[in-house]
């Protein structure tokens, strides 16, 4: 725990410090905060930007991909010179230039059943910026077992969705118990995505992460926000914990060992 903000920090974070709901205490919480961002792509780019600017002291970044030129239309922390570099390295360099208060912890791996719990347990909040169902379900299941909140976001063409999974609220599987069959839902590479869309959605996810760290406002728990860029509409739909949920239900799991996420993440009713 840092004792107090130094003069440079009071200057850098002055617009936070003067807010009643943040103040120097809230800023210290951000500086002591640890956020794991899963994916340094379209959603991860704006999330990482704003979390770093806000002074979140430790940002873990999980990504095993390299920057491709076709990423640059939306993945705004990477530049033309970064094509071919590892995204974790490009992201870490971006953060270092933006804010020296932030330590980037590089996890150049793909999150899976074998490493997810250990990684997630080391953080206060997870921001799930992944682009596939396997990772999304691993994040949900591992974070639930480790009691770490998750800011979930997903995008498709011109639409996005955001919700916050609190350890004592409904989880992603309460809404969608099992993922769609592999191959039935296309990804960005095969369908396209409006470049600015993940900017909006990733910023909403970062907003939730900041609120969770400073314990302010009303998190998006038990509510799914749907955003449609085409008519610029936001709709919030409530959802409840499902007592039959395979993860957080009355007979929920306490381990993810043995779940084959790559095959579709089904949990057999034991």
171 near Zn ion, rule: CB under 5 A? yes
Per-residue string for binding with Zn ion, 172-211, x by CB under 5 A? -xx-------------------------------------
Please confirm, yes or no, whether 188 is among the known catalytic residues. Answer: yes
Q: Is 178 helix (H, G, I), strand (E, B) or coil?
A: coil
Strand partners, 221: 164
Say which residue the tokens 């999150």 belong to: 111
Closest approach, Cβ 60 to Zn ion, in A, equals 24
Interstrand relation of 223-228 and 159-165 (parallel, antiparallel or unpaired): antiparallel
CA distances from 242 to 39, 143, 153, 239 (A): 28, 17, 20, 9
Closest approach, Cβ 253 to Zn ion, in A, equals 10
Closest approach, Cβ 246 to Zn ion, in A, equals 7
Query: Between residues 189 and 240, which has the closer beta carbon with respect to Zn ion?
Result: 240
Distance, CA of 59 to CA of 91 (rounded, Å)? 10
Q: 31 and 24 in contact (C-beta within 8 Å)?
A: no
Distance, CA of 113 to CA of 64 (rounded, Å)? 16
Query: On the CB side of 228, how many CA atoms lie within 13 Å of its CA?
Result: 5
Query: Between residues 13 and 137, which has the closer beta carbon with respect to Zn ion?
Result: 137
Per-residue string for binding with Zn ion, 244-263, x by CB under 5 A? -x-xx---------------
Of the residues 188, 245, 248, 265, only one is catalytic, namely 188
Q: Which stretch binds Zn ion (CB under 5 A): 116-124, 164-172, 181-189, 227-235?
A: 164-172
Active site residues: 188
Residue ranges binding Zn ion (CB under 5 A): 171, 173-174, 245, 247-248
């Amino acid at each position: 725990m840092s004792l107090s903000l130094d003069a440079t920090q009071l200057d850098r974070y002055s617009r936070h410090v003067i807010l009643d709901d943040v103040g120097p205490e809230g800023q210290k919480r951000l500086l002591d905060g640890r956020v794991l961002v899963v994916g340094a792509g379209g959603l991860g780019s704006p999330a990482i930007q704003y979390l770093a600017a806000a002074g979140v002291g430790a940002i873990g970044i999980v990504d095993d991909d390299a920057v491709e030129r076709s990423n640059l239309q939306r993945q705004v922390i990477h530049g033309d010179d970064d094509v071919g570099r590892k995204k974790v390295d490009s992201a870490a360099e971006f953060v270092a230039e933006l804010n020296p208060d932030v330590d980037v912890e590089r996890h150049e791996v793909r999150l899976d059943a074998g490493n997810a719990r250990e990684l997630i347990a080391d953080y206060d909040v997870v921001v799930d910026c992944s682009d596939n169902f396997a990772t999304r379900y691993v994040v949900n299941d591992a974070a639930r077992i480790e009691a770490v909140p998750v800011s979930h976001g997903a995008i498709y063409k011109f639409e996005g969705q955001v919700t916050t999974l609190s350890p004592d609220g409904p989880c992603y599987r309460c809404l969608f118990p099992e993922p769609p069959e592999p191959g039935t839902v296309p990804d960005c590479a095969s369908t396209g995505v409006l470049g600015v869309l993940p900017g909006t959605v990733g910023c909403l996810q970062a907003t939730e992460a900041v609120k969770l760290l400073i314990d302010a406002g009303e998190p998006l728990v038990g509510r799914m926000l749907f955003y449609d860029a085409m008519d610029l509409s936001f709709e919030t739909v409530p959802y409840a914990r499902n007592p039959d949920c395979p993860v957080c239900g009355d007979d929920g799991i306490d381990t993810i060992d043995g779940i084959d996420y790559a095959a579709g993440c089904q949990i057999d009713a034991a």
